[in-house]
Structure formats: structure tokens, C-alpha cells
Structure 1
Amino acid sequence: MRRVSLADVAKAAGVAKATASRALSSRQQDVGEATRARILEVAADLGYQPNRAAQSLRTGRLRLLAAAVPGDASGWEPILAGAAAQARRRGYHLVLHYLDPARDGDQPVDGLSVDGLLLISPGRTLPPVIGEDGVPLPTAVVDDNLEHGDGALLRTALWQAGRAAGRHLADQGRTRLAVLAESSGPVVDGFLAACSAARLPVPEVHIAAPAEAAVEPVVTEVLVDGFFATSPALAAHSVVGFRRGGLTVPEDVSLVAFGDGELARHFDPPLTVVRPPWAALGARAVDLLVDAVEDAAAVPAGLELVAELVVRGSSVPERRRSFVPD
């Protein structure tokens, strides 16, 4: 069967080939709304698919993005999945590149010819990557643990995430709260702010490594009815510690964790979490890169997306099962 061409679309829509090309491009310049809608409808009816090779030759773009991920860590997979899906929707391919932790100062995509670079959880600020034309590649960084990066930095709105956890526990009528974290930061600050707004006593903040031996002494000494852990691993160890102390979750202690994953979903009880918008972060990063590549748009300095409270069995059930905090 013959491939539907741009000329076929133009003829069926009753427009010039150049008009059809502009209407079907990402920039859609100088084409009226009604004309563009008609061309898009005709293209969909005919099953038109753009010739990516021809587009690349014409525009000088490869329609290829690199996603660089840490080679010594995991947890980046949902971000990559969101990025890959959005890249397909935007007509781009995404290639995976592993960052070697032993090469701290090296550029992460040496030798790759790409239009843009997505750094996922690099854990450090990396030097700008220079493209083949001598111009820095458009770059987006997704990392909750960085304050700034080269290019756009996309991250979870951490303070709001902590506040969502505190508000949820306060809504359950819990009044003696505590926090367990690997370190202080905006997630903890947001939780404390929520408790203050609810006129609750200032929660105790405990710092511990995500290991059972480090967590159990903490949870066996606190007298609480509400508990917030900044990772599912800390939360799981906390539940075990509470049980050994004769307390049950959620009957005696309501518990919320920041993060999500297999552990949180399949633990007993399943953990109520404030879930970072991982897939949305990856998709938004791709949009920023594609816009920068195709329209020479300036990549914004930073962007935060809001996390979602997902209520499961570790906190007292409530009528509204989930919400997106403002």
C-alpha cells in the first residue's frame, strides 16, 4: 500500500503543500485556526505519518534526545517512562545513556549526536554539554535533591509534599506527631508548617539512616499517634518497630511516607504516601527540550510539580481517597 504523502493531504484539504506543511509542523505559523483544524482532520483520516528522515534533512535536527541516568542507582525508571512516552508523542526518539559515577567531571554524552539532553537524578551538577555545532545542548535536569543545575531543573514541590502529609494526619485527629528523615530539608519543613497551621504541638524530628537497626530505637522511644517518614524504607522499618513496641498501624499510629514504589504498595499494611509526580516530571522535561530545539525557546531555570497524596492502609481511611495539595 502506498504511503500517504504530504501532497495527498494538501490535495484532499484543498490547500497548497506549503500550507499543509506549516499546519502539521510543531510551530504552525501563518495558518488560520479553521484551516489548520481542517488539515489536521484530513491528515488523521488519511493516516498520514510525517517522514522523519526528510524532516531531519530539512531542519538539521535529528529528532533524538539523550536521557542520562545514574549507573549506580535506581528509582529513576518512572521518570524515564514518562519522558519516553512524551518523546514518542512529540515525534522524537529517546536514547539511554548511563552516567559513570567514577567519571565525576566528564561530560555525560561525549560522542553522542543528539538534539537535547535529559539528566535524570544525576545527584550532582554537571558541566554544560557542547553540541557538534559548538553550541551548548538544550538541557533539562530532573532531580529532587539539587537546588540548581545546568539548564532547566525540574523537581517535586517538596515543601508542599511535606505539608500534605501533615495535613492528612491532622485531618485524622492525630495530635502527637513525629518525623523520621534521613536529613532535614523542605519536606520536613512543610510537614512542620502543616502542624503549626493545625495548632498541634511541635513534632519531634528524628534523623536516621534507612536501616532497621537505626530506626527501631527511634520509634520505640516516641509516644505518638501520627508519624511521617521521608521514604518508604524508613516507613516500613518504623511499622516493624511500632509492632515490637506493642503498637499497631493504623489503629494506634497513622503513618504516611514520602515516595512510592513496590515496597509501599505491597507492604502490610500498604503505605499511605505522598507520591512525587515522576512520570509528569519526565514528560514536562521532554516538552521543555523539544520546545527549545524546535522554537529556539529559552529553557526556564526551574519548575516544580505538585505531589499527590495516595491514601492506603497505613493511615486511618477517609472518605476522600486522594487529592492533589495546592
Structure 2
Amino acid sequence: MPPESPKERAPSIRDVAKLADVSHQTVSRVLNDHPSIRDSTKERVLAAMAELSYRPNRAARALVAGRSHTIGVLAARNAQLGPSSSIAAIEDAARAAEYYVITANLNALDPESIRDAIDHLMSQSIEGLVVVAPQVRVFDALASMSIQVPYVSLQSITVTGPRALSVDQIEGARLATRHLIDLGHREILHLAGPQDWIEAEARMRGFLDEIDRAELRTHPPILGDWTADFGYFAGRELSRGRDFTAVFAANDQMAAGLLHAFRDEGVNVPGEVSVVGFDDIPLAAHFWPPLTTVHENFTEIGRRAVALLLEEVQGTDEAVETLQTLPRLVVRESTGPAPGRPAPLPKRY
């Protein structure tokens, strides 16, 4: 059989060398940005690579250089849409720094599953790890493991060390609750997230702090599961006996389910009940009515996570901006004055 031509197989480093009329060692030096290569030679090699659509073999380069240029991401499979935006931002920031990203999604949260996911990532020779799985048991498991690469965790309450990025979600929940109080609402419910999630605990705490500060009656939080289906179920149940005028939902998906249920049950939003969400996912502005919610800059969070990680991986001295980011309230049409109350003067949040 005749040998394969470059058209019939993936081009190799020797194909590039032949087209550029250089040795394959010269091509290797160009790939590794060796300072001894003349600019004219480098341009000729790069042009040959482009013409042949040559892609360097990552595994081979990692073996030679001892570097994989790969970051691992440990994520909860049932992560909300908001945190999933952080993962996309991590991939974009890593790509800009010429790093690859491998993600391991946790199907279960038992110690064995977490350990298996970490082992899978480590088997890919990752140089660093970002943890986007904000459940208490995940951090408990990580604390008991010896992780041999630098890692950064996206946490939700306070920064607990040099490896943690934090979003002040307690303050975000306080902003949402305070907005409803300023609108004259006195009977406010909280549709909370799952108890094991650090974010859910932080948002519940902020809600309760603000309710206590205003000396209002505390309704027991309703424990949800982050899904729009649960929000719809809760909304249908709540519509049967309304002793409230506002609901703060711990994420936008559950808020979407609430809006759907209230519409089906003939409850006017915001005329009879106001609804606030959390995360400001892209669809929030297109719910009906458009959702008042707490905005988190997931793109910035992901960018900072990669910057912090690469600072440690590469041993640079570049300072990463503050490790805690502040959310802000975005007021839309799902909130209004409590029934029987005049419209208050507009406030800035």
C-alpha cells in the first residue's frame, strides 16, 4: 500500500519541516518559542503550520516540557445556571492564557465520588484546580485530601484563605430583602435553596438578618431545590392561602416557577405579590414580568479565579484584585409597592 500523504492523515512536525525547508528540530524550537530562532525562520515555519492546519500534539509536548498547560475544574452536576456561567468564564480566561480546561462533574457528593473526580483530574496532569461545587460536604472532603497542585475555590460567604474567592451573598440577600421592605412589604417569604449548599445558607442568613433588623414577623423559610419546577409547585401551594405580599427566591429559576404559578392562579405580580430572585441570569430580564434580582458578575468571578490560580502555578507576583466581589440589585417590573401602600421614592441600591 502506498504511504499516507499529509492530505490523508493529520500533518506531522516533519511535514511542517519539509514545507518550510527546515529541520524538524527547528520546528520544535519554534513551537517552544526558543530565543535562538531567527524571525524570518519563525515566520516561515508558522506559515507552513497554517497552510497544513498543523496542531501540536499536546500530550507529546507535555511529556517533553513537563507541563500540561491544563487546568481542572471540579463542578457539581446540578449547578445552577449562574455558577455554570463562571465555568464558561474560567474556560475563556484559561484559553486567553493558553491553558486548556478539563471539567469533572460530580454525579454524587459522597467522599468516594469526590475523590474519584479529583483522581480523574489529576490523571490528566492538571497544573491547577478550580472548585465550583459550593456544597459543604465538598469542602469537607477536600480538606481531608492531599491535593498536590494549587487550587482555588469559589466560596459564597467570606474569604477563608489565599485560595478562596468569595461573593458577598449575604449582602446580596440583604439588598433583595431591604428592597421589599422599602416598598412597604411587611409579610415576606423566603424560598430557599438546598440546605447543604453554602450559597443557600448565605442567602437565607442575609434574608433573616434584614427581617430581624426591620423587626418584622419571621416566616419559616421554604426549602427548595433550585429548580423552576419546585418554584412552580411552591407558588401553586402558596396561592391557596396568601398571608404574604412578597417572596424572595434564592435563585432566578425558582423565581421563574413562582411567576408562572402565580400567573396560572390569577395572582397579579407585582400588584398583589412582589417577587425577587438572585443571580440575574440572562433570561431574568425576559421573564413576565421581568424579574427584579440580585446581579452577580460571573464572568469577572471566573476571570479572577484563573488569575489567582495562574499566579500560584506560574509563580508570578502579579496581585489579583480584591478576592471578594459585591453583588448589586437590579430592579425590574416584578416588584412594586405593597398592596394599599403608596409608591415610595426611588432608591439607589
TM-score norm. by structure 2 comes to 0.62
Deviation (angstroms), 1:250: 1.3
Structure 1 position 96 matched with structure 2 position 106: no
Structure number with the higher helix fraction is: 2
Deviation (angstroms), 1:115: 2.1
Going from structure 1 to structure 2, the CA distance change for 1:303 and 1:164 (only over 3 Å counts) comes to same
Going from structure 1 to structure 2, the CA distance change for 1:80 and 1:140 (only over 3 Å counts) comes to same
What does residue 189 of structure 1 align with? 205
User: Which of 177, 187, 199 pairs up with 1:176?
Assistant: 187
What does residue 131 of structure 2 align with? 119
1:121-200 matched pairs, under 5 angstroms: 121=133, 123=135, 124-125=138-139, 126-127=141-142, 128=145, 130=147, 136-144=148-156, 152-182=163-193, 183=195, 185-197=201-213, 199-200=214-215
Structure 1 position 227 matched with structure 2 position 233: no
SS at match of 1:260: coil
Deviation (angstroms), 1:306: 1.8
Deviation (angstroms), 1:303: 4.6
Distance in 1, matches of 2:301 and 2:314, equals 20
What does residue 90 of structure 2 align with? 83
Distance in 2, matches of 1:186 and 1:73, equals 16
Deviation (angstroms), 1:228: 0.8
User: Which of 220, 231, 255 pairs up with 1:205?
Assistant: 220
Aligned length: 273
The range that moved more, 101-110 or 253-262, is 101-110
SS at match of 1:109: helix
1:1-326 matched pairs, under 5 angstroms: 61-71=67-77, 73=79, 75=81, 76-89=83-96, 91-101=97-107, 103-106=113-116, 107=118, 108-121=120-133, 123=135, 124-125=138-139, 126-127=141-142, 128=145, 130=147, 136-144=148-156, 152-182=163-193, 183=195, 185-197=201-213, 199-209=214-224, 210-243=230-263, 246-295=266-315, 303-316=323-336, 323=349
Distance in 1, matches of 2:35 and 2:104, equals 42
Gaps of 5+ in 2: 1-29, 37-57, 225-229, 338-343
8 Å CA contact retained: 1:140, 1:288:
yes
8 Å CA contact retained: 1:70, 1:121:
yes
Offset from partner CA, 1:290-312 (integer Å, 9 cap, x none): 11122277x99x95422221222
Offset from partner CA, 1:57-113 (integer Å, 9 cap, x none): 999655432233344656343102222333344x23132222353633222413212
Distance in 2, matches of 1:294 and 1:185, equals 35
8 Å CA contact retained: 2:91, 2:100:
yes
Deviation (angstroms), 1:164: 0.7
Deviation (angstroms), 1:289: 0.7
SS at match of 2:115: coil
Deviation (angstroms), 1:321: 9.2
Which residue identity does 1:185 align to in structure 2?
E
Going from structure 1 to structure 2, the CA distance change for 1:254 and 1:201 (only over 3 Å counts) comes to same
Which residue identity does 1:251 align to in structure 2?
G
Which residue identity does 1:87 align to in structure 2?
A
8 Å CA contact retained: 1:215, 1:237:
yes
What does residue 31 of structure 1 align with? none
Gaps of 5+ in 1: 9-52, 131-135
What does residue 30 of structure 1 align with? none
Deviation (angstroms), 1:139: 0.4
Distance in 2, matches of 1:262 and 1:308, equals 15
Distance in 2, matches of 1:193 and 1:71, equals 31
8 Å CA contact retained: 1:141, 1:149:
no
Deviation (angstroms), 1:269: 0.8
Going from structure 1 to structure 2, the CA distance change for 1:119 and 1:282 (only over 3 Å counts) comes to same
SS at match of 2:236: helix
SS at match of 1:92: coil
Distance in 2, matches of 1:170 and 1:185, equals 21
8 Å CA contact retained: 1:120, 1:141:
yes
SS at match of 1:140: strand
Distance in 2, matches of 1:150 and 1:111, equals 27
SS at match of 2:152: strand
